[in-house]
Chain A
Amino acid sequence: MKKTWLGIISAILVLSLVACAGGQNSGTEQNAGTNAAQGSGQQSAAPSGTSSGVVKVPIMMRNAGNDSQAVINEFMVENYNKLYEGQYELEVEWLPGVAEDYRTKLKMLNASNDLPAWLYDLHAETAFAELLIQNNRLVDLKPHFDASPEWQRMAIPESVEFNTTADGKMYTSPAVSTEYVGIFYNKEHFQNAGIASFPETWDDFWDACNKLKAAGYTPLSLHTTETGWCPMLLGTSTMALSDEGQAFMNQMFPTDFNVPVVINMLDVITRLFTYSTADAVGGNYALAANNFCSGNTSMIPNGPWMVASLSDPQFAPEGFEEKVGYAMYPGKTMLSNQGKIYEMAVSVDHPEEVQLGAIELVKYRASEEFIRFNAVHAGYFSTVVPLTDEDMESLSPVMREYAARVLEIERTLLRYQAQWDPLTQNEVISTELVSLINGTITSEEMATKMSESAAKFATDSQG
Chain B
Amino acid sequence: MSKFKKSGKNIYIALFLTPALFMFILIYLWPLCLSIISSFTSWDGFTSMKFIGLRNYRELFNDSKFLAALWNTFRWALAAAFIHVPFGVLVALILSKKMIGWRFVRSAFMIPNIISQSAMAILFTFIFRPDAGILNSVLRVFMGPDFNANWLHDSKYAFLALTQIWLWFAAVITLITLSEILSISPELYEAAKIDGANVFQIDIFINIPLLRNIIGTGVIIAITSVFKMFDIIYMTTNGGPGNSTINLAVMSVNAIIIQNKFGYANAIGIFLLILGVLVMSMTMRGFRMNKSAMD
Given contacts A278-B150, A281-B150, A423-B258, is CB(A431)–CB(B241) below 8 Å? yes
Confirm or deny: B256 has a beta carbon within 8 angstroms of a beta carbon on chain A: yes
Interface residues on chain B, number (Cβ under 8 Å) = 32
Q: How many Å from the CB of B157 to the closest CB on chain A? A: 11
For A282, give its contact among B150, B239, B261 (CB under 8 Å): B150
For A423, give its contact among B45, B150, B238, B259 (CB under 8 Å): B259
Given contacts A104-B257, A278-B131, A423-B258, is CB(A431)–CB(B239) below 8 Å? yes
For A110, give its contact among B46, B153, B240 (CB under 8 Å): B46
Whose C-beta in chain B lies nearest to the C-beta of A434? B241
Binary A-proximity of B228-242 (CB < 8 A = 1, otherwise 0)? 000000000111111
Confirm or deny: B283 has a beta carbon within 8 angstroms of a beta carbon on chain A: no
For A431, give its contact among B148, B154, B240 (CB under 8 Å): B240
For B241, give its contact among A131, A283, A422, A440 (CB under 8 Å): A440
Binary A-proximity of B191-233 (CB < 8 A = 1, otherwise 0)? 0000000000000000000000000000000000000000000
B150:A131 contact, CB within 8 angstroms: no
B contact residues around A104 at 8 Å (CB):
256-257
Binary B-proximity of A429-460 (CB < 8 A = 1, otherwise 0)? 01110110010100000000000000001001
Binary B-proximity of A124-149 (CB < 8 A = 1, otherwise 0)? 00011001000101000000000000
Given contacts A107-B45, A111-B262, A127-B260, is CB(A277)–CB(B242) below 8 Å? no
Given contacts A107-B45, A426-B258, A463-B42, is CB(A278)–CB(B241) below 8 Å? no
Given contacts A107-B260, A278-B148, is CB(A434)–CB(B240) below 8 Å? yes
B153:A224 contact, CB within 8 angstroms: yes
B259:A460 contact, CB within 8 angstroms: yes
Confirm or deny: A353 has a beta carbon within 8 angstroms of a beta carbon on chain B: no
Q: How many Å from the CB of B251 to the closest CB on chain A? A: 10
A contact residues around B45 at 8 Å (CB):
107, 110-111, 131
Q: How many Å from the CB of B245 to the closest CB on chain A? A: 9
B contact residues around A278 at 8 Å (CB):
130-131, 148, 150
A225:B238 contact, CB within 8 angstroms: yes
Binary B-proximity of A274-290 (CB < 8 A = 1, otherwise 0)? 00011101110000000
A104 to B265, CA, bound (A): 14
A113, A127, A427, A430 pick with most chain B CB within 10 angstroms: A427
B241:A432 contact, CB within 8 angstroms: yes
Binary B-proximity of A215-230 (CB < 8 A = 1, otherwise 0)? 0000000001100000
B contact residues around A131 at 8 Å (CB):
44-46, 260
Confirm or deny: A243 has a beta carbon within 8 angstroms of a beta carbon on chain B: no
Whose C-beta in chain B lies nearest to the C-beta of A127? B260
Residues 110 to 131 of chain B near chain A (Cβ within 8 Å): 129-131
Q: How many Å from the CB of B149 to the closest CB on chain A? A: 10
Whose C-beta in chain B lies nearest to the C-beta of A287? B129
Given contacts A110-B46, A427-B254, A440-B155, is CB(A128)–CB(B240) below 8 Å? no
Whose C-beta in chain A lies nearest to the C-beta of B59? A460
Q: How many Å from the CB of A362 to the closest CB on chain B? A: 22
Whose C-beta in chain B lies nearest to the C-beta of A132? B46
A440 to B154, CA, bound (A): 9
Given contacts A279-B131, A282-B152, is CB(A135)–CB(B258) below 8 Å? no
Confirm or deny: A103 has a beta carbon within 8 angstroms of a beta carbon on chain B: yes
B254:A281 contact, CB within 8 angstroms: no
B47:A135 contact, CB within 8 angstroms: yes
B254:A426 contact, CB within 8 angstroms: yes
Q: How many Å from the CB of A346 to the closest CB on chain B? A: 17
A438:B261 contact, CB within 8 angstroms: no
Confirm or deny: A100 has a beta carbon within 8 angstroms of a beta carbon on chain B: yes
A438:B238 contact, CB within 8 angstroms: no
Confirm or deny: B50 has a beta carbon within 8 angstroms of a beta carbon on chain A: yes
A438 to B150, CA, bound (A): 10
B46:A431 contact, CB within 8 angstroms: no
A457 to B264, CA, bound (A): 13
Whose C-beta in chain B lies nearest to the C-beta of A282? B153
Q: How many Å from the CB of A98 to the closest CB on chain B? A: 10
A128 to B155, CA, bound (A): 32
Q: How many Å from the CB of A349 to the closest CB on chain B? A: 12
Q: How many Å from the CB of A269 to the closest CB on chain B? A: 15
Given contacts A426-B258, A431-B241, is CB(A438)–CB(B155) below 8 Å? yes
A434 to B158, CA, bound (A): 11
A438 to B46, CA, bound (A): 40
Q: How many Å from the CB of B160 to the closest CB on chain A? A: 15
Whose C-beta in chain B lies nearest to the C-beta of A225? B238
A110 to B47, CA, bound (A): 9
Given contacts A278-B130, A281-B153, A463-B42, is CB(A432)–CB(B259) below 8 Å? no
Q: How many Å from the CB of A273 to the closest CB on chain B? A: 12
Q: How many Å from the CB of A443 to the closest CB on chain B? A: 16
Residues 412 to 430 of chain A near chain B (Cβ within 8 Å): 422-423, 426-427, 430
Binary A-proximity of B73-106 (CB < 8 A = 1, otherwise 0)? 0000000000000000000000000000000000
Q: How many Å from the CB of B162 to the closest CB on chain A? A: 12
A86 to B239, CA, bound (A): 50
Whose C-beta in chain B lies nearest to the C-beta of A218? B131
B contact residues around A431 at 8 Å (CB):
237-243
A435:B258 contact, CB within 8 angstroms: no
A contact residues around B239 at 8 Å (CB):
431
A contact residues around B48 at 8 Å (CB):
135
Q: How many Å from the CB of B125 to the closest CB on chain A? A: 8
Given contacts A100-B257, A111-B46, A135-B47, is CB(A440)–CB(B238) below 8 Å? no
Q: How many Å from the CB of A385 to the closest CB on chain B? A: 36
A contact residues around B256 at 8 Å (CB):
104, 107
Q: How many Å from the CB of B267 to the closest CB on chain A? A: 13
A-B contact pairs, 21 of them (CB 8 A): A110-B45, A135-B46, A278-B130, A278-B148, A279-B129, A279-B130, A279-B131, A282-B150, A283-B129, A422-B258, A423-B259, A426-B254, A426-B258, A427-B254, A427-B258, A431-B238, A432-B241, A434-B153, A434-B240, A435-B240, A438-B150
A residues at B contact (CB < 8 Å): 100, 103-104, 107, 110-111, 113, 127-128, 131, 135, 137, 224-225, 277-279, 281-283, 422-423, 426-427, 430-432, 434-435, 438, 440, 457, 460, 463
A103-B257, A438-B153, A460-B259 known; 10 other A-B pairs, CB under 8 Å? Answer: A107-B260, A135-B46, A135-B48, A281-B130, A281-B153, A282-B152, A283-B129, A431-B240, A432-B240, A432-B242
A-B interface, 8 closest residue pairs, ranked by CB to CB distance from nearest: A282-B153, A431-B240, A278-B130, A434-B241, A135-B46, A278-B131, A111-B45, A426-B258
